[in-house]
Amino acid sequence: MKLITPQNYDPRLSVRDTQEAIKYIRDTFQKEFAKEMNIWRISAPLFLEKSTGLNDDLNGVERKVSFDIHDKPGTEIEIVQSLAKWKRMALKKYGFNPGEGLYTNMNAIRRDEELDNIHSVYVDQWDWEKVILKSERTVETLQNTVRTIVKVIKHMEHEVWYKYPEAVYRLPYNVTFVDSEELRQMYPDLTAKERENKICKKHGCVFIMRIGDKLGDGKPHDGRAPDYDDWQLNGDIMYWFEPLQMALEISSMGIRVSEESLHEQLLKAGCPEREELPFHKAILNRELPYSIGGGIGQSRLCMLLLGKAHIGEVQASYWTDEMRAECEKHNIPLL
């Protein structure tokens, strides 16, 4: 069991007050985020047909939850792991123009997550996607979008402070950008996670760029599926989180693959056969809009803003009896 138990932990809010704060954060953030990003809410699926190739493969090793349905025997249906690819199809389907986009409340099951303070089998996030021009597939576009998201999160902290001053966790105003190879060279003897902790503790809020491709040591900073983010134009927004003494990832995002980068990344990942799937064919044939998108963890954001020691304090998920007992012993009230 991987569990961090902060010494003399005080959750500050009762379980009922925490529930109220969760609703307030979710309702308020998505309105402000949608306004700043010029995106609209749409409905999203909980499951997809496997043959479409639309489900997120994450690192490529995670087992998806699947089932069949009565009216279509022989068809395998999968619970989503995220909607990274589905959203790009939706941009076209709903007729969004450059500078416009969508967001949705995504609920997923990731059965192979190792349960700890920040990882759960149940994943809830705002999945968002926005149409851009091919000429806007630049580092500048990526970084300006990151700054907008960080600004909205900081403003959300102020909103929470007005209602729950005793509980709010204070955040930095600015974000520092660092390339994953630059970070590796800064701390060559550390693991990727240790490097994240070092840089986040130093700067407070960091966007680590270029995730998925191999670095100078022959290893990627972290895993990324080859068919949604462009590995040269993506990254993670991370905050230093004092209660757990660690970097806390709030968002994975990036400019999406073009026809050129999709082909290149599928070859690097050893899965060129995916080019025959409907989604991949649509990109290669330039039938889908160029886009930027990502996910913002809803429970992670609540955890960050309220200084919670465990994600189970802000979402109802599955935890082992051992973890529940240990959390109760250390005054960490799991829902």
Query: How many Å apart are CA 329 and CA 130, to the nearest integer?
Result: 45
Contact 104, 126 (CB under 8 A): yes
Is 252 labeled as catalytic in the residue annotation? Answer: yes
- Cα-Cα end-to-end distance for the chain: 19
b/e map of 18-27 (b: 16 or more CB within 10 Å)?
A: beebbebbbe
| Cβ neighbours for 36, distance < 8 A, ≥ 6 positions apart | 148, 151, 152
Amino acid letter, residue 130: K
Instruction: For residue 129, give the 3-state DSSP assignment.
Output: strand
Which residue is catalytic, options 249, 265, 291, 313? 249
Helices (H), the chain: 15-37, 84-93, 139-163, 180-186, 192-203, 259-269, 278-284, 298-306, 321-329
Is 249 labeled as catalytic in the residue annotation? Answer: yes
Which residue is catalytic, options 26, 88, 110, 195? 110
Is 227 labeled as catalytic in the residue annotation? Answer: no
Paired tokens of 315? 């979402």
Which residue is catalytic, options 26, 56, 224, 227? 56
Paired tokens of 183? 């970070």
Quick one: which H or E segment has residue 250? strand 246-256
Q: In this structure, how many other beta carbons lie within 10 angstroms of the beta carbon of residue 332?
A: 22
Is 56 labeled as catalytic in the residue annotation? Answer: yes
b/e map of 210-234 (b: 16 or more CB within 10 Å)?
A: bbbbebeeeebbbebbbbbbbbbbb
| Cβ neighbours for 182, distance < 8 A, ≥ 6 positions apart | none
Q: Across the strands, what pairs with 255?
A: 292
Which residue is catalytic, options 30, 81, 125, 298? 125
Paired tokens of 212? 């998925």
Burial class (CB in 10 A: 0-12, 13-18, 19+), 248: buried
Question: Sheet of 66-67: strands edge to edge?
Answer: 47-49, 77-79, 66-67
Which residue is catalytic, options 232, 252, 299, 315? 252
Annotated active-site positions, please? Answer: 56, 110, 125, 236, 249, 252
